[in-house]
Amino acid sequence: MFRAIWDVESEIRNELHPAEVIVWTGQPTAWGTFVFKWPDVFLGVIFSILGSILLLPADNRVVSIDKPAGIPGIIFPGIFALIGIAAIARVVFEVIATSRTAYAVTDRRVLVIRNMIRRRVTTIAPTAINVVEVREKWDRSGTLTYRREGDGDSVKKFGFLGIPDVREVAKHVEELRMTGKQAS
């Protein structure tokens, strides 16, 4: 299936309200996303190796594993291997999806636009942002995470993964958050 080249700026412009001003736009980097998700890869590799070792016969002098006979000897190691493969595949999908993700901070809200298999736009109002957290690397890139409180006790975390100059973006989101608090 052929997909047209994704024009980030036109996608963001399509989401803007009249008289809304863009303060910052950006896209995540694949490496930044991988660095943020590396624990999932690590656990996925461990689960895959553990499941594979338990599935394969080990009748050698190095490793001696007593496998349960019958169906449980196949199902439980198979579940471990599938969980590991799924964790690794999820990270690979996220890294690929970074090329089809755009972030925007406007004078009224925060936007996260993803256009991988289906188009999905997440809009966060400034009054919904309670805490802004910054994880910065040595090259000033990093991850910006912010919390959004919903109805009742629900709290959702959103973030801009792998963005350059994370401090500048945090400043814009914090200014937006403070203007939202003053208006309410």
One domain, residues 49 and 76: yes
pLDDT at 90: 92
> Tens of pLDDT along 33-88?
787 788 999 999 998 888 877 766 655 555 566 666 677 777 878 888 899 999 99
162 or 92: which carries more pLDDT confidence?
92
Prediction pTM value: 0.70
In-domain check, residue 116: no
CA atoms within 13 A on the CB side of 92: 8
One domain, residues 100 and 159: no
Distance CA 132, CA 110 (A): 12
One domain, residues 85 and 147: no
| Containing structural domain, residue 139 | 125-183
Is the pLDDT at 119 greater than 70? The verdict is yes
Domains: count for the chain: 2
pLDDT at 1: 44
One domain, residues 97 and 164: no
pLDDT at 68: 63
In-domain check, residue 1: no
pLDDT at 149: 65
Residue finishing a domain among 79, 109, 139: 109
Q: Determine the average pLDDT of the residues in 90-117.
A: 88
The mean-pLDDT minimum among 24-33, 44-53, 92-101, 142-151 falls in 142-151
In-domain check, residue 44: yes
Residue finishing a domain among 109, 138, 155: 109
Residue finishing a domain among 109, 144, 159: 109
Measured CA to CA in angstroms, residue 150 lies from 39, 124, 136 at distances of 28, 11, 27
Phi, psi for 131 (deg, rounded to 5) = -130, 135
